[in-house]
Amino acid sequence: MRVNVRLQEGEGEKVKERLQAFEGVVISKKGRASSATFTVRRVSFGVGIERIFPLHSPTISSIEVVGKGKVRRARLYYLRDLKGKAARIKRAGREEVAAVPWREPKQKPKRRQSIWQAIMKKAPRNRAFFISRHGWTLVTPSARAWGNVFRTTRSTGRWNQCCASPR
């Protein structure tokens, strides 16, 4: 991340404004809305320097993303203890693709499911169905023989075990 900061040099009428770049790794982001801050760390001449920037500060001219890294946590405070090559972050494996104009995907009209399709979707495999006046009755095979019986009502479509054996 490269942060360009506005600095004022001189006093009185001889005030000059210049930009100073601070390039490093973002190790944390904190806060929300107008009080949000982020911390950038870099190593300069063997000394680690961390600088906290307010995100919505008028002193920040611009923020540029130089590169993206692959990390598995939000706060990278563990980099403070590492030295040399161990303090590097792996580059993200995502490649930039040429911009293609955005097109809304075509949405297919939703087909209503019949009661039979809804019941079949929720029922276990290896099933045998019987229709009764209350709803569907499902008999599933157990280890020895056809053992468990489930019933569903037409309104809910949920399967409830009602008895251990249909016999």
pLDDT tens figures, 60-70? 999 999 888 89
Which pLDDT band holds residue 59 (cuts at 50, 70, 90)?
very high
Please check whether residues 9 and 60 belong to one and the same domain: yes
Please check whether residues 10 and 83 belong to one and the same domain: yes
Cα 119 to its chain centre, rounded Å, is 34
CATH number at residue 12: 2.30.30.790
What pLDDT was estimated at residue 119? 58
Residue 104, domain member (yes or no): no
**Of 41, 70, 87, the domain-final residue:** 87
Residue 13: which domain range? 2-87
Tokens read off for 108? 């297919």
Please check whether residues 70 and 128 belong to one and the same domain: no
Higher pLDDT, 152 or 19: 19
What pLDDT was estimated at residue 107? 73
**Of 87, 106, 138, the domain-final residue:** 87
pLDDT in tens, 71-114: 999 999 999 999 888 988 888 876 666 666 767 777 776 666 66
Half-sphere exposure in the Cβ direction for 110 (13 Å, CA): 3
Residue 55, domain member (yes or no): yes
Which pLDDT band holds residue 3 (cuts at 50, 70, 90)?
very high
Helix (H, G, I), strand (E, B) or coil at 142: coil
Averaged pLDDT, 131-145:
55
- Please tell me the total number of residues recorded for the chain in this structure: 167
64 vs 42: CA distance, rounded Å: 15
Residue 59, domain member (yes or no): yes
| Most trustworthy range by pLDDT among 38-42, 43-47, 101-105, 151-155 | 38-42
111 vs 43: CA distance, rounded Å: 60
Residue 98, domain member (yes or no): no
Residue 99, domain member (yes or no): no
Query: Which backbone phi and psi does 165 adopt, to 5 degrees?
Result: -145, 140
Spell out the residues 6+ positions from residue 62 whose beta carbon is closer than 8 angstroms to its own.
3, 4
CA gyration radius for the chain? 32
Query: Which backbone phi and psi does 52 adopt, to 5 degrees?
Result: -100, 125
Q: What is the mean pLDDT of the chain?
A: 77
Higher pLDDT, 118 or 62: 62
Residue 109, domain member (yes or no): no
Which pLDDT band holds residue 166 (cuts at 50, 70, 90)?
very low
Number of structural domains in the chain: 2
Helix (H, G, I), strand (E, B) or coil at 132: coil
What pLDDT was estimated at residue 143? 40
What pLDDT was estimated at residue 159? 58
Please check whether residues 73 and 120 belong to one and the same domain: no
Residue 82, domain member (yes or no): yes
Q: Is 136 exposed, middle or buried (0-12, 13-18, 19+ CB in 10 A)?
A: buried
Residue 71, domain member (yes or no): yes
